[in-house]
């Protein structure tokens, strides 16, 4: 599944971070964000307007010849899910269809709550949130942001001491 605003193929088998040039991405370690109180909120407020409507894409399950297995997501506990669609794509390595779900009209404040829950040991998914300007991928280790070069340059300047430079 492609995300129109970004040169990202969510089914590519690699995270969005590795699908763009260095100048179009920035990475924060979850540990670094945890060690700096308020850092996540500052980064998040730089990206999104509070309660802005965002979209999301994630893996919600797998279908094999033996049946379907859904991921235990728990997203309904955080998000008010009203608009979603799914698409299946065959994966040769897994010998299964991977089920991708796209949700729209998610409140950015709920995305922030999801990230806080994840930072406190919540179950992580292969999930991204996005608007027209930014794509945010988060798991239990990293928070990755993809955007155009000028926006990423601003983020790198603003959070110069905090972002992860390992892949630069």
Tens place of pLDDT per residue across the chain (168 aa): 667 778 898 888 889 999 999 999 999 999 999 998 889 999 999 999 888 999 988 888 889 888 877 766 666 566 666 777 888 999 888 889 998 888 888 889 989 988 888 888 777 778 899 999 999 999 889 999 999 999 999 999 999 999 988 877
Whether the predicted model's global pTM rises above the 0.95 cut: no
CB atoms within 10 A of CB 156: 16
In this predicted structure, what is the pLDDT of residue 71?
A: 64
> How many angstroms separate the CA atoms of 44 and 14, rounded?
23
In this predicted structure, what is the pLDDT of residue 168?
A: 72
In this predicted structure, what is the pLDDT of residue 76?
A: 57
In this predicted structure, what is the pLDDT of residue 149?
A: 94
In this predicted structure, what is the pLDDT of residue 137?
A: 93
Look up residue 81 and give its DSSP letter.
-
> How many angstroms separate the CA atoms of 138 and 134, rounded?
13
31-59 burial, b for 16+ CB within 10 Å, e for fewer?
Answer: ebbeeeeeebeebbeebbeeeeebbbbbb
In this predicted structure, what is the pLDDT of residue 77?
A: 62
């Amino acid at each position: 599944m492609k995300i129109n605003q970004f040169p990202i193929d969510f089914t590519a088998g690699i995270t969005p971070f590795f699908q763009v040039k260095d100048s179009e991405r920035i990475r924060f370690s979850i540990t670094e964000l945890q060690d700096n109180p308020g850092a996540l909120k500052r980064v998040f407020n730089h990206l999104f307007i509070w309660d802005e409507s965002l979209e999301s894409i994630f893996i919600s399950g797998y279908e094999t010849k033996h049946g379907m297995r859904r991921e235990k997501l728990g997203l309904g506990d955080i998000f008010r899910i009203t608009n979603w669609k799914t698409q299946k794509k065959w994966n040769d390595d897994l010998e299964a269809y991977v089920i991708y779900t796209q949700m729209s009209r998610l409140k950015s404040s709920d995305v922030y709550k999801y990230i806080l829950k994840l930072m406190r040991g919540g179950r992580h998914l292969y999930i991204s949130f996005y608007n027209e300007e930014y794509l945010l991928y988060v798991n239990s280790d990293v928070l990755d942001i993809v955007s155009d070069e000028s926006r990423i340059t601003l983020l790198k300047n603003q959070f110069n001491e905090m972002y992860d430079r390992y892949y630069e």
